[in-house]
Structure 1
Amino acid sequence: MKNKSNGRVRPSWIVASACAAGLAGCGGGGGGSDAGGLPMLPVLPAAAPASAPAPAPAPAPEPNRDPMPGSEPLPSLDAPQAGSTAAAGNDSEGIYASLLDITLIGADGSIASKDHIGTMWGSLTVTGLDWSFNPDTAYYFIDASPVTGSGTFTPKKVMNGTYSWDQRAPSAFGPQKYAVENALAVSQDSVTGKWANPDSNYGVGLSIEVDATGAFTGKTAGVQVGDCSISGVLAQAQPGTSKNMYGFALNAVDAGIDGKNACKLSTNRPYRGPAAIVLVPAGAYEGNGYFRRVFFLVKTDNGATLTASLQKQP
């Protein structure tokens, strides 16, 4: 199943117009003489009044550049929050992203990556600033295919390299930029509460409620996933730190009624994978702030994958 976004939401715009009409006048004239025979001055036609000017258009309202309720400012990689991945992590771990790709790399070198075609799972060997895929790494499209490849890190800036899967010619891996969300300091409490992706335009609707321990319950809807009751755990990958990386475990149970909208997720194999808090614009202007979402990328042991981006709910 494809996820809805790797992170930014674009705003939309609306345009309106108005019009006005003017007025016209009339006139007349005549001639003759009075009893004294004195000629009378001719009555000249009255000048037509000028058309009434169109009213000036109402000034457009000033755009709202203030923070939206519930939003927060974007963190800075130049001054990362204390304890965040950017402040306390190594030179390779974290969230990396490009226009169509997102990659999550754990402190232990584990890697989960999503592009516009498929997903990649496995681990890296990192030596200095150089990295290479370990033999356990596979690319999942229709089937799982072994992956080879290598590249370099520019510390806390970019990840770059090449890779090959299913014995294909090497392709570029990246460049993927070190995401600004790595500068965000988080805790277990940061994911407590309700999170949802109610938009089912892509056939995947999902909502969960997470308690203080990270345990959650929820449900799914949509043509790609059907009606499922779900439960699991959303917990920090490194408890006690402030790094923005979590582990996501999900179990599904069929909640379809009378065979309708049957759950299409795996109900006998759990889903496992990484998650992180990402930020999406709250409006058209940076001053509007950013909303938090939980992005996760998980799979079963036989390669069924699930990914979504869940926005924090009131």
Structure 2
Amino acid sequence: MSNKGPVSEFLTYHFRHFNAASVVDAAKAYEDQLQSGSKMMITLAGAMSSAELGLSLAEMIREDKVHIITCTGANLEEDVFNLVAHDHYKRIPNYRDLSPQDEQDLLDQHFNRVTDTCIPEEEAMRRIEDHLVKRWVKATEEGNRHFPHEYFYDLLLSGDLEDSYQIDPKNSWLMAAAEKNIPVIVPGWEDSTCGNFFASHCIEGRTKPIAIKSGIEYMMYLSDWYLNNSDNGVGFFQIGGGIAGDFPICVVPMIEQDLGKSDVPLWSYFCQISDSTTSYGSYSGAVPNEKITWGKLGIDTPKFIIESDATIVAPLIFAYLLGW
């Protein structure tokens, strides 16, 4: 423990049983994966960007402890919303007590609520819309096509938003990912605010759907990435459930069963942080061993389920890995 800081020491001393022990076990096994030369994918569901996970995830990316990310369209865009409009966000600690009229009042003020955090439409969403539209239109006119995250990378690296920053950009996980140019897989991107923007501009004829590469193309890209990076294993660190986890974990059985390639390495590590109740028929609530039958994990794959709130657990695991 000599290379660990006070947060890590607190975890290893106090987190000894039940979900707490799983947090430490998962963190140590993640560290073992990195030390053995494995790559690591992190998947982001829920509203982790609005929960400001970038405060720890950005440093994980900079220190090469994350090599690929899969996220929802919401997490992709909400990291940028927070970057340019943080001062205009409204926090509502008593969100459980809001009445329907309270919710309508927030809408009338152009706030969209995510649990206790309200995103300001004009300052966040509309502030980046024109920048993205300019890029979509240009791609359409030039006959070019890009993945959703590539448009965001170009926007961040261009400096077009610098005058609008309201947090330190080192706390933006997407900025860190753009600077490292790590892959970001965004299945179902159209199910996002910016996806809605894009659809509306396609309807108006300003751009065309062809400007955005599809989820199928993301799977093709991920397949190629996995085959080129799995010699020493690729771990799977899943935050929440949903498409962010369901989509990428299927790349292994797809390569083996559908492409007919033999000896494809299974995912070498699996950890899911979820408050989903273990259940039958619910993918997010499925225990890891079920994934063995689908050709995703092996009998000996280190497997962890942490039944807790990811906004609490993920920063603690990242803190351990960063030696904090």
Q: TM-score by structure 1 length?
A: 0.20
Larger Rg: 1 or 2? 1
Query: Greater helix percent: which structure?
Result: 2
Does 1 or 2 have the higher relative contact order (CA < 8 Å, sep 6+)?
2
Query: Greater strand percent: which structure?
Result: 1
Q: TM-score by structure 2 length?
A: 0.20
